[in-house]
Structure 1
């Protein structure tokens, strides 16, 4: 029988530690995820290593606790929780629910007190207990049965505090930790202690006198007149500080250890959340088994070698062996009218003339899931898919953009269709994955086709009811065919130029390396944090900013703080930047150039972001860095596919700010755009109260950060990080912005009020984003939802406008019989390849179409450029 083991987690502390330990990560919907990801990796490691039988995650219930009655300034001065973290707490709670872990909070008490009370009960029962926190205060709970795990660097590097370890580290017992806090205080909790007494002095006093009380009983025996004076002047404060630092181990909790039994996570719920948060690597590594379908209905599937001659509308589903549909195997194809179900192996499908005729016929309606993937994959097998009038994935995306859309089984469940078995059940997972026998495969693929057939009409009816059917039929569905063509066409790459750039970067890196050696006075491995730390902090004697378990921190934020201290830091940062540029982008792009046509075929994810933005993957061509000149030069490798042709780029100018001006009806912004003023200079003039001539480059830079930050719902924390200023300065800047542009402030207020009533916001073309957290009782959760309500209509409308422009451009190219091709969409930019005789036509046509895509109260503006490479056309 497994011996019982209790795991107690300090929810708030670990969430904070994860948030600040990892860079700001977001999922495809723009939701920050770094705290949840860090928490998850820590949890996975602890569960694997400790295999607990009982678990509780404790949270703080609020800002006010019983300690505030003792000292009103307890935890005072703490900065407000960054909204980028606050928005993650609901997902953290969803994560714990999916893990089937109980969570608990108690009004007026902290998580520490809940953990302390339960660990005391466990101690009394001689039960082995593991406490995990980022807060060393909990080390006071260490005992023979209880080990306190404190996270250090990152989230999976853990220091384990037993009574022995506490003594080795501090020469104190765990209980004396509270005496140490009483004497030295704790700035993080605003516990005052005795001013001027630090950790070393506190330990020295406690080694001699054992406790705070005993120190004061023998204060005359303390060495040093000044120290005696400090102690006498702060006796009550020290005793109060000890009281504040003492965890209450008799909190009135109503949860018992026997009720905390834990077995395993709810795999379906956990995988769904991980998919929503884009934690794909966790899914791939997990060995959890998903649940079986609620019910299974066996279909009478006809496995045929020749397709019958039919003309009825059908759902069509070709099963892909992987998501990379430009380079994947198709396992088979199923067609159904919901009465008769057919399945064909691909070798038979390729030979079937009746199937080819059916799929090609534009007059026969077909229903699919992800028309872009289906059309591209079938095309590789010589099959042309026409006549698609419905795409369940796109319809479901518009109906509820936050739902998981990876597979038909994810979608149909949301609409009550429960008889579709999950893929892992059919194919297995990870190393155990294999293709099942033909009968089982035919049943599975046909089930998908039936699910698509049955669910599509339901979702489309919902879109009609919400007046979103036009968005689906007139924008998203036509766009899917355009994107499919763009993906298939690809963009030509001059591989030799990429190789040359790689060589140039290597030379630059070698030169920078020698300069670093010269300035450092020694040769060492610059990529080794340990060796770099020794050089910077021991040899060059630079001030130590942060230490890690293995030595000195040399993270980017640490190096940036050290820039004024020594010239070598600039070279080290440049070395890292150029090194990443070479490995990630130069070498990375070379790996994905198709060997036959020397092109890169990116894939566009159309049904991913909550705002409607397209995203590019495999590779992500929207993410090529352009701030560094070396990054911009990567675009020199992108060339036309035919000799003598040109690349033509057209980029919307400040489209989101123009949409903001229109939606907010802000007079000052509208006037600036109508008079073609530089909007960032105009903002700087208004916010700083200066004339145009007095606007400095730094003023304009700050104004630009605020202009774009407002669109993205930036917080004072986010703006302070961007500009390297304090949160207060950032908050003042945002306030002055709203004073200068009151229409924007009114828009923000009104859109939130309307969204709270409706439960969602809409773009100019009626794309919706549902925001259930707008009415949350949690201030931080509600605040994030409010910022989302403010910025989604702007970002979403801008995304809709460029989609309209792409559809209208595609139509114009065909109507005018032009050979020019649309190759790429990169945020607000469209890139074409153009034959020489069409250059003049395209220079007039493209800006005209883009600028007339949608009529606003301010003019849309598209800046165009042309060249032999993408770099020149920018």
Structure 2
């Protein structure tokens, strides 16, 4: 090696496990199609790319610990085994991370008997001797001891959900910690660090340790002046535990002269974005990182079979052949080139993908003769054939085409959702990769992508159906989810009428009330401030007004709802602030927000989603009708603006206590079943049993508390959660829950059984076979496991309620159509159906609702649907 041949060149040294660990705990859990946890790898790569762009180094090396006893910990046998074990979800990502780095051509260094910080410490000193500028990236502040004028330590930290990086040269360490990098070791040795197995000296914390080292420079010098040390408590501790202090210093000191093979030339950065790395990123499903690569996805052999059709006679032949095929995959290619992203859904067609065999894959282009209308008519005709038509998002397709044989339609999106309801979103390329081992390159021309999408729809139909059969969800798909697609489509097309003038008036009234509240809040505070600013609000409440329970954080006092709700009964200003927040939310989200969704026909045509929630519940967007705050009267009033057409009324049907009834059925608890069979007041009965009070003497408060227990049990409520809900002690809440389970022992056995089933199988299921995977049950994190247990208790109940509501919707819709009625379903929210009902059809609609809703499932207890009607949703409810 030539003398100082790396002069003024820069090397980036990364503490591999430290950055992986930080990413793992800083990013929500992610898994790829193979079930591999990927959040730590994803976070590591994002931090890596950020620092590479900022530093632009010529050399890069990542150091990893070898999880075997290291030299430093072998010196002190008592401490080497006390490290917190690595979470299993993180452990499985470590070898994959190394494979990804190797695929990117990044030098990895690891050595048995040496920790990563010893490797980094040695390389940083070697690099400095070579005249290099060294950048060390680690989440471990121990490495601050390496800082010099040529060695910069960069420590990433998460602030308000974003990663920021703190930089430390030697002077920065001195400025922030009052000690030099070398003295930093002694501070760490005195105060100890349980996360890094450094015991420290009992009774000496960070402030005292810093003060001692600032004054004496080292542990050894402090010990030689131990009689002079202040405070006396610290002097006594150091005198008694000097051997521990020395041991801690040895543990805290990074080895900067370790012996391991390494040449700086090996760390030279080349092309990180290799073909091999690209394939890893695809496998890990890091789609938003693929744009960094200037490589093509490996061509799939099927591309040779793609055929572009531009002539009408050729198109006719393709559609004729397709009509005789067992299955046809259809994909629509939108002409989005000259359309703003906001209006992509409204773009016209530029082509249609059709696939019905391994060598029958076509892209049929629009032209002067083959117009968009022509192609859509041909696809509509195809739905009358004997072929199964497989598409992605059938409901969206029905905005363009009619489907003549719903029973011959397969929605790939819905099937994929059923198989993995935890995935936040599915795209065609996800399904191609996960189920067909097919990679669709993001950079392909649109016409090729459309062929791939059509082929994916064709192939996926068989694969997904087989998977549904294997998971025992084929009947759920065929009898509930697919028919529901058409029911929801009808509801979206129908929409619901809005009284725009009333909405405007409602918004104006809210605005007046908000202004009035503002003045009252300012009068009580005796100052004006921004009520919507948590920082300003915190200062006013907890400093100026000196209210209790102020919790100060780095960004100011917390003004979260749970804190303010505790103060509200005793402080009028707080109750007015809570009311102000509710009204402001109502105004922005509903009074002002709903107006944006009113179409030219005076109706809102919202979107009902069946592939979003993990439990199977339907959700709604544009607008979200399920979050209207109906517990407060002003919130309920928004329902007044939802009105029926002239000559119609609203009939509202709402399941009564459906989840508790399902709990009674699934648990088989005789006492609970008997109460429902006798049509008794379930909450009063529970109160009587739990509080040992005669039924006739149960107070309203006892009934309310029993109601909270009844519904809380369904959601796996803890004694802490119940104590918060009822404002009682945790001990009292625990006693309530214990008495509940004594009253209904079948419920306890059932819930415990669901948790046990979930732990053994990794999922729970509803009585209709809907699966809800629960990876949290095998988590190494206690909070995650506890969450998983609550999910295991609740999902079979909530999921079954969702299934029953879906069955009811399908049957109600069919009955309305089969009888030729003009009434139609317009809204579904949780356990409630709203029917826009022709006045002459009210009685028959009520009969249909009662029949279909109450007989949607055969339970051991009766299903009850409560009905009402009115000239607005408010009146009908």
Q: Residues of 2 paired with 1:89 and 1:695: CA distance?
A: 52
Q: Which residue of 2 aligns with 1:333?
A: 352
Q: Which residue of 2 aligns with 1:503?
A: 508
Q: CA deviation at 1:479?
A: 1.2
CA contact (8 A) 1:184 1:197 kept: yes
Q: Which residue of 2 aligns with 1:278?
A: none
Q: CA deviation at 1:515?
A: 2.2
1:372-418: CA deviation from partner (whole Å, max 9, x where unpaired)? 33533314xxx666554333333344445456863333213333252
* Pair 1:592 & 2:597 matched: yes
Q: Which residue of 2 aligns with 1:125?
A: 126
* Pair 1:619 & 2:632 matched: no
Query: Among residues 649, 652, 655, which one is paired with 2:652 in the alignment?
Result: 649
Q: Which residue of 2 aligns with 1:292?
A: 297
Query: Among residues 218, 228, 239, which one is paired with 2:225 in the alignment?
Result: 218
Query: Among residues 601, 607, 620, which one is paired with 2:605 in the alignment?
Result: 601
Q: Residues of 1 paired with 2:400 and 2:680: CA distance?
A: 50
Query: Among residues 793, 802, 822, which one is paired with 1:819 in the alignment?
Result: 822
1:605-624: CA deviation from partner (whole Å, max 9, x where unpaired)? 22344432222223322233
Q: Which residue of 1 aligns with 2:329?
A: 315
Q: CA deviation at 1:787?
A: 5.2
CA RMSD of aligned residues (A): 5.3
Q: CA deviation at 1:853?
A: 0.3
Q: Which residue of 2 aligns with 1:301?
A: 308
* Mean CA deviation greater in 516-525 or 309-318: 309-318
CA contact (8 A) 2:650 2:872 kept: yes
Q: Which residue of 2 aligns with 1:446?
A: 451
CA contact (8 A) 2:62 2:108 kept: no
* Pair 1:343 & 2:343 matched: no
Q: Residues of 1 paired with 2:668 and 2:449: CA distance?
A: 53
SS of structure 2 residue aligned to 1:639: coil
SS of structure 1 residue aligned to 2:410: strand
User: 1:325-404 to 2 correspondence within 5 Å?
Assistant: 327-338=346-357, 340=360, 341=362, 343-345=364-366, 348-352=370-374, 355-356=377-378, 359=381, 362-370=384-392, 372-379=394-401, 386=405, 388-402=408-422
Q: Which residue of 1 aligns with 2:809?
A: 806
Query: Among residues 390, 414, 423, which one is paired with 2:434 in the alignment?
Result: 414
CA contact (8 A) 2:189 2:252 kept: no
CA contact (8 A) 1:367 1:389 kept: yes
Q: Which residue of 1 aligns with 2:130?
A: none
Q: Residues of 2 paired with 1:664 and 1:657: CA distance?
A: 10
Compared with structure 1, are the counterparts of its residues 828 and 48 closer, same or farther at alpha carbon in structure 2 (3 Å cutoff)? Answer: farther
Compared with structure 1, are the counterparts of its residues 481 and 139 closer, same or farther at alpha carbon in structure 2 (3 Å cutoff)? Answer: same
1:793-840: CA deviation from partner (whole Å, max 9, x where unpaired)? 323222211111111111221233222111122222222111222223
Q: Residues of 2 paired with 1:99 and 1:716: CA distance?
A: 45
Q: Which residue of 1 aligns with 2:584?
A: 579
CA contact (8 A) 1:136 1:150 kept: no
5+ residue gaps, structure 2, are 1-5, 128-132
User: 1:84-123 to 2 correspondence within 5 Å?
Assistant: 114=115, 116-123=117-124
CA contact (8 A) 1:36 1:88 kept: no
* Mean CA deviation greater in 749-758 or 626-635: 749-758
Q: CA deviation at 1:854?
A: 0.6
Q: Residues of 2 paired with 1:841 and 1:560: CA distance?
A: 46
Q: Which residue of 2 aligns with 1:765?
A: 768
Q: Which residue of 2 aligns with 1:669?
A: 672
* Pair 1:493 & 2:498 matched: yes
Q: CA deviation at 1:452?
A: 1.9
Q: Which residue of 2 aligns with 1:832?
A: 835
Q: Residues of 2 paired with 1:182 and 1:695: CA distance?
A: 63
SS of structure 1 residue aligned to 2:800: helix
* Mean CA deviation greater in 479-488 or 291-300: 291-300
CA contact (8 A) 1:185 1:193 kept: yes
Compared with structure 1, are the counterparts of its residues 203 and 99 closer, same or farther at alpha carbon in structure 2 (3 Å cutoff)? Answer: same
CA contact (8 A) 1:318 1:374 kept: no
Compared with structure 1, are the counterparts of its residues 256 and 87 closer, same or farther at alpha carbon in structure 2 (3 Å cutoff)? Answer: same
Q: CA deviation at 1:294?
A: 4.7
Query: Among residues 453, 468, 474, which one is paired with 2:473 in the alignment?
Result: 468
Compared with structure 1, are the counterparts of its residues 525 and 739 closer, same or farther at alpha carbon in structure 2 (3 Å cutoff)? Answer: same
Q: Residues of 2 paired with 1:719 and 1:66: CA distance?
A: 49
Q: CA deviation at 1:850?
A: 1.0
Q: Residues of 1 paired with 2:624 and 2:876: CA distance?
A: 19
1:68-113: CA deviation from partner (whole Å, max 9, x where unpaired)? 976899999xxx99xxxx898699879968975999999x99xxx9
Query: Among residues 632, 637, 641, which one is paired with 2:636 in the alignment?
Result: 632
Q: Residues of 2 paired with 1:256 and 1:693: CA distance?
A: 84
Larger relative contact order (Cα-Cα within 8 Å, sequence gap ≥ 6): 1
* Mean CA deviation greater in 461-470 or 539-548: 539-548
When Rg is computed on C-alpha atoms for both structures, the one with the higher figure is 2
1:530-574: CA deviation from partner (whole Å, max 9, x where unpaired)? 544544455335579455666555555665676688553443344
Q: Residues of 2 paired with 1:67 and 1:867: CA distance?
A: 81
CA contact (8 A) 1:182 1:238 kept: no
Q: Residues of 1 paired with 2:31 and 2:545: CA distance?
A: 38
Compared with structure 1, are the counterparts of its residues 584 and 25 closer, same or farther at alpha carbon in structure 2 (3 Å cutoff)? Answer: farther
Compared with structure 1, are the counterparts of its residues 779 and 872 closer, same or farther at alpha carbon in structure 2 (3 Å cutoff)? Answer: same
User: 1:770-809 to 2 correspondence within 5 Å?
Assistant: 770=773, 788-809=791-812
Q: CA deviation at 1:846?
A: 1.1
SS of structure 1 residue aligned to 2:324: coil
Q: Which residue of 1 aligns with 2:236?
A: 232
Query: Among residues 509, 515, 518, which one is paired with 2:520 in the alignment?
Result: 515
Q: Residues of 2 paired with 1:800 and 1:167: CA distance?
A: 63
Q: Residues of 2 paired with 1:631 and 1:95: CA distance?
A: 51
Q: Which residue of 2 aligns with 1:4?
A: 11
CA contact (8 A) 1:272 1:404 kept: no
CA contact (8 A) 1:116 1:247 kept: no
Q: CA deviation at 1:471?
A: 2.0
Q: CA deviation at 1:858?
A: 2.0
Compared with structure 1, are the counterparts of its residues 783 and 159 closer, same or farther at alpha carbon in structure 2 (3 Å cutoff)? Answer: same
Query: Among residues 165, 175, 178, which one is paired with 1:171 in the alignment?
Result: 178
Query: Among residues 430, 435, 443, which one is paired with 1:425 in the alignment?
Result: 443
Q: CA deviation at 1:777?
A: 8.1
SS of structure 2 residue aligned to 1:4: strand
Q: CA deviation at 1:590?
A: 2.0
If the length of structure 1 is used for normalisation, what is the TM-score?
0.78
1:415-439: CA deviation from partner (whole Å, max 9, x where unpaired)? 3252x634x3235xxxxxxxx5xxx
Q: Residues of 1 paired with 2:770 and 2:516: CA distance?
A: 52
* Mean CA deviation greater in 329-338 or 698-707: 698-707
Q: CA deviation at 1:486?
A: 1.0
Q: CA deviation at 1:734?
A: 5.8
* Mean CA deviation greater in 547-556 or 659-668: 547-556
Q: CA deviation at 1:489?
A: 1.3
Compared with structure 1, are the counterparts of its residues 131 and 481 closer, same or farther at alpha carbon in structure 2 (3 Å cutoff)? Answer: same
Compared with structure 1, are the counterparts of its residues 26 and 637 closer, same or farther at alpha carbon in structure 2 (3 Å cutoff)? Answer: farther
User: 1:168-207 to 2 correspondence within 5 Å?
Assistant: 168-177=175-184, 179-180=186-187, 201-207=208-214
5+ residue gaps, structure 1, are 276-281, 428-435
Compared with structure 1, are the counterparts of its residues 459 and 37 closer, same or farther at alpha carbon in structure 2 (3 Å cutoff)? Answer: closer
